[in-house]
């Protein structure tokens, strides 16, 4: 099965999601078939890279024949396991957390935010963008009765590690961390970090010292 | 000068920002000196990688002597050009854009959000988290009188490309894009993409089909 193939570079997986975005745009524009060169160009890479990325999963289509936009999307969704429903929780209903609760991608199949958690009594019991806010104390109990695949951490850096430890103890296998801190976690826990400060600092590096 | 050294992998630059985060945490904990192994472990990498990353910029310190937490931070900030003030604008004062305007990292030296832009008459003229919202029509005029280094795009995918074109025409050299679309831009424009859907899809891939 494609998802069990080992040693697929993370950069390849990230590019697969970019190809999927490009195909969704093409479909929205009414395009039915597309050549690999066009997808590669739209995704900011080249034909050879595109073919190599797909080759990890057995490849698809014949060179020069073009791809069905619909079928290639289906193939990529299958590789990315997007046919599996994923239950998400968000922890930290502050400024960023509230915005994330309203982010359409977090409510788009197969992803569903099933609950939010905070320690602020004024927020607990309210509903933000359709999601009920619960007390962080009730996290472990909630997870015992509702399977949760991914915890989104939108808490301050100072408490991020202890909240991440709580998430791990509750048995949640994956974390999307927005706190600007490198979490120390057991190796079996999957983590993706969105660090907005990092993004600015990388741009600052590339901008250089002259401008 | 360090920032002119070519062929530094983007992954190295990203790790430099992680080292900087770790050093900031250590300083907050009152730590004065640290060995490379500790920094590497905190940053989720190894000693050899840490030394290699620093070696692009001439290295610092002597093996086994440890690093001054303060001096190493200073060195990393210099490499990342964080001594240069960077003026940012944010385009798209929706749900995500409003949260980003409140994000502390975007108001932290050397970064300053100097203006926000939207096309919604109800938002234009208001102030969100201390930042004045202007009409998107006035972007080019604003940039002529205020140097802007980075434009943050928090607009819907459907308009992101045309807004990015506007940003490029106005002469802004770098874009931090939150729209889930791969922008087609001239090669001299620096772009970083924060794609929250991608992050979830990569986690979905790694979670696999069994859970």
Reported as a single tens digit per residue, the pLDDT across A92-136 is 999 889 888 888 778 888 999 999 999 999 999 999 999 999 999
- For residues B19 and A113, give the distance between their C-alpha atoms in angstroms, rounded to a whole number: 32
The model's pLDDT over A53-80, given as tens digits with 9 standing for 90+, comes to 999 888 666 666 789 999 999 999 999 9
Contact B95 A102 (CB under 8 A): yes
Q: What is the pLDDT along chain B (211 residues), one digit of tens a residue?
A: 334 445 788 889 999 999 999 999 899 889 999 999 999 999 989 999 999 999 988 866 666 678 999 999 999 999 999 999 999 999 999 988 988 888 877 888 899 999 999 999 999 999 999 999 999 999 999 999 999 999 999 998 889 999 999 999 999 999 999 988 889 999 999 999 998 888 999 999 989 877 7
Is A19 an 8 Å CB contact of chain B?
no
* Cβ contact A148:A87 at 8 Å: yes
Window B:52-91, CB contacts with A under 8 Å: 79-84, 86, 88
Nearest by Cα to B100 from A5, A97, A211:
A97
* Cβ contact A18:A54 at 8 Å: no
Question: To which H or E segment does residue B59 belong?
Answer: none
Is A157 an 8 Å CB contact of chain B?
yes
Two tokens at B88?
Answer: 């940012």
Nearest by Cα to B127 from B177, B178, B171, B90:
B90
Nearest to A96 among B99, B108, B149 (CB): B99
- For residues A73 and A76, give the distance between their C-alpha atoms in angstroms, rounded to a whole number: 5
Nearest by Cα to B15 from B68, B70, B64, B57:
B57
CB atoms within 10 A of CB B83: 12
Q: Any idea which residue has 């962080």 for tokens?
A: A136
Nearest by Cα to B37 from B27, B47, B51, B24:
B47
> What is the model's pTM?
0.84
Two tokens at A135?
Answer: 């007390």
Q: What residues of A are in contact with residue B157 (Cβ under 8 Å)? A: 25
CA A71 from chain centre, in angstroms, equals 22
Nearest to B3 among A81, A102, A209 (CB): A209
Q: Any idea which residue has 């296998």 for tokens?
A: A173
Nearest to B203 among A4, A174, A196 (CB): A174
Q: What residues of B are in contact with residue A102 (Cβ under 8 Å)? A: 95-96
> Which string of b and e fits B157-172 if b means at least 16 CB within 10 Å?
bebbbebbebbbebeb
Q: Tell me what pLDDT residue A2 has.
A: 39
- For residues A127 and A125, give the distance between their C-alpha atoms in angstroms, rounded to a whole number: 7
Window B:86-125, CB contacts with A under 8 Å: 86, 88, 95-96, 98-100, 102-103, 105-106, 108, 110-111
Is A181 an 8 Å CB contact of chain B?
yes
Q: Tell me what pLDDT residue A109 has.
A: 84
Nearest by Cα to A149 from A115, A181, A124, A123:
A115
- For residues B193 and B175, give the distance between their C-alpha atoms in angstroms, rounded to a whole number: 8
Average pLDDT, chain A: 90
Is A162 an 8 Å CB contact of chain B?
no
Q: Which residues on adjacent β-strands are paired with residue B176? A: B152, B192
Please report how many Cα atoms fall inside a 13 Å half-sphere around the Cα of residue A42, on the Cβ side: 20
Contact B102 A95 (CB under 8 A): yes
Q: Tell me what pLDDT residue B4 has.
A: 46
* Ramachandran quadrant class, B173 (left: phi over 0; alpha: psi -120 to 50; beta: rest): alpha
Contacts of B127 (CB under 8 A, 6+ apart): B133
């Amino acid at each position: 099965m494609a998802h069990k193939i080992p040693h697929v570079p993370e950069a390849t997986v990230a590019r697969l999601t970019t190809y999927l975005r490009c195909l969704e745009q093409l479909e929205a524009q009414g395009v039915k078939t597309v050549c690999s060169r066009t997808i590669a160009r739209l995704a900011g890479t080249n034909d050879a890279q595109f073919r190599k990325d797909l080759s990890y999963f057995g490849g698809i289509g014949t060179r020069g024949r073009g791809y069905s936009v619909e079928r290639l999307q289906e193939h990529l969704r299958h590789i990315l396991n997007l046919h599996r429903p994923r239950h998400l929780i968000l922890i930290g209903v502050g400024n960023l957390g509230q915005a994330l609760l309203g982010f359409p991608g977090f409510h788009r199949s197969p992803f569903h935010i099933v609950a939010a958690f905070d320690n602020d009594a004024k927020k607990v019991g309210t509903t933000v963008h359709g999601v009920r806010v619960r007390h962080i104390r009730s996290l472990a109990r909630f997870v015992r009765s509702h399977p949760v695949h991914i915890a989104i951490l939108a808490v301050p850096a100072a408490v991020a590690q202890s909240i991440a430890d709580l998430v791990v103890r509750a048995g949640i296998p994956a974390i999307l961390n927005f706190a600007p801190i490198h979490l120390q976690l057991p190796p079996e826990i999957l983590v993706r970090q969105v660090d907005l400060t990092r993004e600015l600092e990388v741009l600052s590096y590339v901008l250089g010292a002259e401008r």
